[in-house]
Amino acid sequence: MQTEDVRQHLTTPLTSPAYAPTVPRFTDREYLNVVYRTDPEALRAVVPEPLRIGEPLVRFEVMKMGDVSGYGPYTEAGQAIPVSFEGEQGEYLHAMYLDNFPATASGREVSAYPKVLGSPALTVDSGALVGTLDHGSLRVATATMGYKHHELDRREARAQITVPTFMLKTVPGYDGSPRVQELVRTRITDVTVKEAWTGPARLQLFQHVLAPLADLPVLQVVSASHILTDLTLSGAEPVHDYLKGAAS
């Protein structure tokens, strides 16, 4: 394989890439969002500067991807934390767990999503929308929401899922020290909200050393939403370089 051919590949193995070279379009992406109040000191321990925390809130999300170009259907769960950066309101993605390796590898390599493998699920059970996350054979999180109790204004639903998203990109060098360490920002675009609902909700988090969601404990459930949408993820852009100690 010639050098110019190698340069055309974004990932390995060269003859069987880990993921497709595509900008994914999500069709019928279904969200269960549960926003809860947590310990502010626990938040400060995990949110990196220069991001700033306001209210001590966390959004636990389970997302069931009906169809994704390049990856097919899969499910994802994780935690997002409301933050601000230079006066701009957004969310910091703290942890994400997926049941699809290409989407996991792509999210980490192409962008900066903190994705690892897990076993999330989103189902309906006896009048409740149920979102779960397992790590191996152990339950890590269980969220329940009344199934389609009250319609949610679609403009509000759109606002919930289109806030800027901040992530930490770290690429180690061969000596073990960071070669790249940046705060990056991305956005959701081309959004069509098909359905939006709200209702009562509960959330349980269980201790696990390799999936420490419970380190941000649930003190009070604030709100919940159930949203069905089509959307596209835009690329990431660096906004702060930790190795230079200044904005990019």
- DSSP string over 69-108: TTT-SEEEEEEEEEEEETTEEEEEEEEEEES-HHHHHHHH
CB-based burial of residue 27 (10 Å sphere; 0-12 exposed, 13-18 middle, 19+ buried)? middle
Q: Is 115 a catalytic residue?
A: yes
Catalytic choice (64, 115, 148, 194): 115
Q: Of 8, 185, 13, which is closest to residue 86 (Cα–Cα)?
A: 185
**H or E stretch covering 159:** helix 154-161
Residues in the chain: 248
Block residue for tokens 């990431």: 236
State the DSSP code for 190. Answer: E
CA angle 119, 145, 161 (to 5 degrees): 75
Please list the active-site residues: 115
